[in-house]
Amino acid sequence: MEKLIVHGGAPLKGRINISGSKNSSLPILAATLLTKDTCTIRRVPDLSDTNYMVRILGELGAEVERASGVVVVKAEKIKSVAPYDLVRKMRASICVLGPLTGRLKKCQVSLPGGCVIGDRPVDLHLKGLEALGAQVTVDGGDISVNAKKGFKGGQMNLMGKHGSTVLGTDNVMMAAVLAKGTTIIEGAAAEPEVEDLANFLIKMGAKIQGAGTNRIVIEGVKELHGAEHTVIPDRIEAGTFLVAGAMLGDGVTLKRVMPEHMKSVTDAMIKCGFPLEITKDSITVRPNPNAKGFDLTTLCYPGFPTDMQAQFCALACVINDSSSITETIFPQRFMHAAEMKRMGANIEIQNATARIRGGAKLKGAPVMASDLRASAALVLAGLVAEGSTEIKRLYHIDRGYEHLDDKLAALGARVERAQDRS
């Protein structure tokens, strides 16, 4: 296993390019299963999660080629069964459910297991598929979906008690594009990644209106054809580097971003007093020693993203003020707090709220990565800490940040990857 060693205190300065979005790439790659034709997806980030999705497509029978960010898929003949061994490593594997049923009218996909950030049920995905006329059973850890006569358009509401579901909306949308008639998804997730998937499906010949809002209307078509698509920039990777640039250094510029997807994050930083320069495709950030604390609540898009909560906990540590952040999407997603406390952070978790008293000097320590964004927060804390921080279980970061160590090093950070033999 690898670990990341971060030697704290090196100022950050310079420019980096933001990669394509992980959370767009995964469902878009799955959507290529909806056609026999060739699909070309560009700007797919080089991550273990996208590699894993490429492997799943291959195991399901598709021919897949991947070279420097471009993935070409031809899914002429595909299987309808995705067994546990194939899908267990990545929760997002669940997004093959929609395209497999859409194309083959039946499928069996193993239920994804638990996850450190929360329970992560799939009841809303299944409710949506049932509303399209499918028979859905869950037995022996497998989801079986059967729509012998094909899907029929239907109406449903995908709003759950923690908000709408991103991958659930993706799955239902991918099943509904080949259904007979009109499907109306109320309470749909409005995240930019859902809109990006819809844009790809539209290029494949699908008829979708309203993606990017909470009401999506899909007019089913007989078949889809091949298409080319470039995935949107990763707003969470961008947000993470934005926080790094606010924490220390002398100006970090993010290039190839879509600032309109990051408004809740940039607004929060501006409110704290961090100077941002925003153009149509770049953002520059600088630290501010007089920045003020924040009180934030994670919400569905366009609210403040849960995927930025851990990084803002790290940011709060360098603000000489009190901050709080309440998690409404995954109320138990605070694994980073205990590790950051080992570095000297003053964080208290009460129910689903983290209260952070900033200004305490952080000290490097060996810490354990628990999930993707928690790990990113530990890297951020390590960048400002005195001494060295060893972040174990680096594979969590490699799931979702393309070449994080190289990008940080390009900005002047002192980071090294090493084997962890402990």
Which of 274/334 has CB closer to ligand EPU? 334
Which of 168/226 has CB closer to ligand EPU? 168
Tell me the closest approach of the beta carbon of residue 255 to ligand EPU, in angstroms. Answer: 21
Which residues contact ligand EPU by CB under 6 A?
23, 26, 92, 118-125, 160, 162-163, 165-168, 189, 193, 306-307, 329-330, 372-373, 400
Which of 5/188 has CB closer to ligand EPU? 188
Which of 52/274 has CB closer to ligand EPU? 52
- 107 has catalytic annotation: no
Tell me the closest approach of the beta carbon of residue 420 to ligand EPU, in angstroms. Answer: 22
Which of 195/307 has CB closer to ligand EPU? 307
Tell me the closest approach of the beta carbon of residue 168 to ligand EPU, in angstroms. Answer: 5
Count of alpha carbons within 13 angstroms of residue 420, beta-carbon side: 18
Tell me the closest approach of the beta carbon of residue 386 to ligand EPU, in angstroms. Answer: 29
What the block records as the tokens of 374 is 């928690």
Tell me the closest approach of the beta carbon of residue 164 to ligand EPU, in angstroms. Answer: 7
Tell me the closest approach of the beta carbon of residue 24 to ligand EPU, in angstroms. Answer: 8
The span from the CA of 33 to the CA of 128, in Å, is 19
Tell me the closest approach of the beta carbon of residue 53 to ligand EPU, in angstroms. Answer: 10
Catalytic hit among 95, 107, 115, 313: 115
Which of 288/328 has CB closer to ligand EPU? 328
Question: Strand 135-139's sheet: what is its strand order?
Answer: 81-82, 106-110, 142-146, 135-139
- C-alpha of 386 from chain center: 30
Which amino acid, one-letter code, is at 6?
V
3-class SS letters over the chain: CEEEEEECCCCCCEEEECCECHHHHHHHHHHHHHCCCEEEEECCCCCHHHHHHHHHHHHCCCEEEEECCEEEEECCCCCCEECHHHHCCCHHHHHHHHHHHHHHCEEEEECCCCECCECCCCHHHHHHHHHCCCEEEEECCEEEEECCCCCECCEEECEECCEECHHHHHHHHHHHCCCECEEEEECCCCCHHHHHHHHHHHHCCCEEECECECEEEEECCCCCCCCEEECCECHHHHHHHHHHHHHCCCCEEEECCCHHHCHHHHHHHHHHCCCEEECCCEEEECCCCCCCCCEEEECCCCCECHHHHHHHHHHHHHCCCEEEEECCCCCCCCHHHHHHHHCCCEEEEECCEEEEECCCCCECCEEECCCHHHHHHHHHHHHHCECEEEEECCHHHHCCCCCHHHHHHHCCCEEEEEECCC
Which of 164/253 has CB closer to ligand EPU? 164
Q: Label residue 187 exposed, middle or buried (CB < 10 Å: 0-12, 13-18, 19+).
A: buried
Which of 253/306 has CB closer to ligand EPU? 306
Tell me the closest approach of the beta carbon of residue 289 to ligand EPU, in angstroms. Answer: 30
The catalytic residue positions are 115
